[in-house]
């Protein structure tokens, strides 16, 4: 097995192990062959201004956002550093003010 921990292609977690044949993700349970070359698939995600976003970019909220199921409000201008793009309705996985959240790209602009 290589020195670097493979990243789960399903949920992008680094929490996984090799069971002899496949690599298994501890977070989502996805199994894959770590020896096969993964198909690198770039997500086409654009911010509120139409600028393309990439993994590792920094973004800024363009409006106040109330978190569902909580009384917490994320304020306009809050910065999220080192975002991760994911598939789905909420395209951005990041940390804002120490909280791990998922955001829609239409509520952020590239920093």
pLDDT attached to residue 25: 86
**How many residues comprise the chain?**
111
- Number of domains into which the chain is organized: 2
Instruction: Please indicate, yes or no, if residue 43 is contained in any of the structural domains.
Output: no
Output the pTM of the full model. Answer: 0.63
Residue 70: domain span: 57-110
Q: List the CATH number of the domain containing 15.
A: 2.20.25.10
Together in a domain, 62 and 98: yes
Nearest to 110 by CA among 88, 94, 87: 94
Closest CA to 104 of 82, 83, 81, 77: 83
pLDDT over 70, % of the chain = 87
- Mean pLDDT to the nearest integer, 26-45: 72
Tokens of 111: 């920093």
Average pLDDT, the chain: 86
């Amino acid at each position: 097995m290589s020195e670097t921990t493979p990243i789960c292609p399903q949920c992008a977690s680094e929490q996984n192990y090799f069971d002899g044949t496949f690599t298994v993700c501890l977070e989502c349970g996805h199994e894959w062959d770590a020896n096969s070359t993964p198909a690198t698939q770039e997500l086409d995600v654009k911010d509120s201004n139409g600028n393309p976003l990439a993994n590792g970019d920094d973004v800024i909220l363009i409006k106040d956002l109330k978190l569902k199921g909580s009384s917490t409000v994320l304020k306009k201008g809050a910065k999220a550093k080192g975002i991760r793009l994911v598939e789905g309705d909420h395209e951005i996985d990041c940390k804002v003010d120490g909280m791990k959240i998922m955001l829609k790209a239409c509520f952020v602009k590239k920093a």
